[in-house]
A and B are shown apart, each in its own frame.
Chain A
Amino acid sequence: MTDDTRVRDEGFDDFLDAVEAGEGFYLECPDGHGSLPPRQVCPHCGAGDLGETPLAETGEIETYTTVHVAAPEFDDDTPYVTAVVDFGGVRLTGQLRDAAPEDVAVGAEVTPDVARTETTGERILVFR
């Protein structure tokens, strides 16, 4: 199933839209805890007053792996690098694009974007 037939997930798809438009954001509670939509309350402290804070333009790779065995939806994408990237208020998990696996390193600076998977054409959060 591709995005064209999948019912949108409110909050999540809005987040991807924003990242794709270069206007990524995260949710922040009055105590400064970051989280990702959709949220009714802060997952860390339960506060209900969540505002949108712009996502930093770049984040730092905190950990990564090259995936050789994937689920069927990512069969044609292998091998690919999955990374967890720290943006300060939140971390994001996505695929690293435009980088050879041997050039990937913890601490490297990357920017978030949205692309399509090779296998199904689904939208996916990526880092470049």
Chain B
Amino acid sequence: MTGVRVAGVGLTHFGKHPERTGRDLFGEAADRAFADAGVDRSAVEGLNYGNFMGELAEHQGHQGPLMAEAAGVTAPATRYESACASSGTALREAVKDVRNGEADVVLVGGAERMNNLGTAGTTEALAIAADDLYEVRAGMTFPAAYALMARAYFEAYGGSREDLAEIAVKNHDNALENEYAQFQRAISVEEALDAPMVADPLGLYDACPITDGASAVVLVSDEYADDHGLEAPVAVTGTGQGGDKMALQDRQYLARTPAAERAAAEAYDDAGVGPADVAAAEVHDCFTIAEVLALEALDFYAPGEAIGAAARGETTRDGDRPVNLSGGLKAKGHPVGATGTSQVVEMTRLLRGDHPNSDAVDGDVGVTHNAGGTVASTTVHVLEVTE
């Protein structure tokens, strides 16, 4: 089985770009990934593309061939939809294709256009990641779902809004030097606590923003990288995926995320590493509480222990294991279908040394954690510097 290397990565700016179409955004991210990879786009044998709500935001289905055109590739293209984990899932399938010898070069990415819908429209659109009959029709919004999980967590293990605010402050700090981030702006705990409530205990600063953007990664086999003299020091060495019941009410746990636990265990096993080997992580902090749940699922902390990690300085830039050095979904932004691959873009740059926060990474192993809905689906990937 061949290894899978990250030959090149590309992002658009993440932010408010309501007038830019999904195809325009993805075309830019893919172009940057090809330039970074030094791979000719004619070598691409498949496009795996993640997008969540294109039917609602752009009245556009069947986005695979559209995005292949946008990227200037003629290879067959498939869209993956797994809510906020869409492009993490697209990436996992691409890793399998390269390992299986099905393809030597795969373009993976995702895009989402959201701001053209406005806040109410986006709230409505995001809700389709939940169970329509038993959650959405009961008035459960996406922030409400995470608020229900946050209160369940506080009930089970303790924790406070201050603990959550520390996570938001950390991720905003991390985004200060990230030119792709939506918010390159520091915030304070007081500002976060004083912000308007969205769904208590979660306020505006506990939530990721509404973001337009795209991400792309060129994956190649070891053989292709060697034969073409590519400089591709980072490899995807582990992949895992986990699932759970769709509706929060049907889950065994309201304050734990077994789908992510299973994805992490599989990815660690696949890579032959353990949580103690991980130097940095990019995790799916769509809400501050989601970062807590992610760190516990990744087995960096036992259940109930990660709530104070940011406040204790363990996951900050200077901590033992920095988390979301990109700024995370919270400060970098969350163009839903683009997020999974954007985490791999950031981690690749963090590990190979050309990210503004690379100096905070003390080691060669990073993980990315991409969760869909209220963590009914999750992918986890292990990235390592292997040359």
Contact = CB atoms under 8 A, between A and B. Distances in A.
Nearest to B197: A68
A92 B119 CA distance: 27
Contact of B250 (A43, A95, A106, A117): A43
A36 B197 CA distance: 32
Interface string B176-218: 0000000000000000000011111110000000000000000
A124 B139 contact: yes
B148 A64 contact: yes
B141 A71 contact: yes
Dominant secondary structure of chain B at its interface with chain A: helix
B144 A65 contact: yes
A90 interface: yes
B151 interface: yes
Contacts of A77: 139
A58 interface: no
Nearest to A68: B197
Contacts of B250: 35, 43, 90-91
Given A9-B133, A90-B249, A65 B148 contact: yes
A69 B198 contact: yes
B103 interface: no
A12 B133 contact: yes
Given A69-B119, A73-B124, A106-B155, A93 B147 contact: no
Contact of A68 (B148, B199, B254): B199
Interface string A72-83: 111101001010
B138 A82 contact: yes
A89 to B, nearest CB: 12
Contact of A82 (B124, B144, B198, B201): B144
Contacts of B200: 65-66, 68
B247 A69 contact: no
Interface size bucket, A side?
20 to 34
B353 interface: no
Contacts of B144: 65, 67, 82
A71 B151 contact: no
Contacts, number: 101
Contacts of A70: 123, 139, 141
A77 B140 CA distance: 12
Contact of A84 (B133, B143, B248): B248
A95 B148 CA distance: 13
A71 B121 CA distance: 7
B59 interface: no
A122 B152 CA distance: 28
A93 B249 contact: yes
B254 A124 contact: no
Nearest to A122: B137
Interface in B128-174: 133-141, 143-144, 147-149, 151-152, 155
A12 B137 CA distance: 11
Choose among A70, A117, A125 the residue with the greatest number of B CB atoms under 10 Å from its CB. A70
A121 B253 CA distance: 33
Nearest to A86: B249
B47 to A, nearest CB: 33
Given A65-B151, A65-B199, A84-B248, A93 B141 contact: no
A93 B123 contact: no
Given A84-B148, A106-B151, A93 B133 contact: no
Contacts of B199: 65-69, 82
Contacts of B141: 67, 69-71
B120 interface: yes
Nearest to B146: A65
A43 B245 contact: yes
A20 interface: no
Contacts of A117: 139
A62 B149 CA distance: 10
B121 A69 contact: no
6 contacts: A65-B202, A71-B127, A82-B148, A84-B152, A93-B140, A124-B138
Interface of B: 119-121, 123-124, 127, 133-141, 143-144, 147-149, 151-152, 155, 196-202, 245, 247-250, 254
Given A82-B148, A84-B148, 16 more contacts: A63-B152, A65-B148, A65-B151, A65-B201, A68-B198, A70-B123, A70-B141, A72-B120, A73-B139, A74-B139, A80-B139, A82-B139, A91-B249, A93-B248, A93-B249, A106-B151
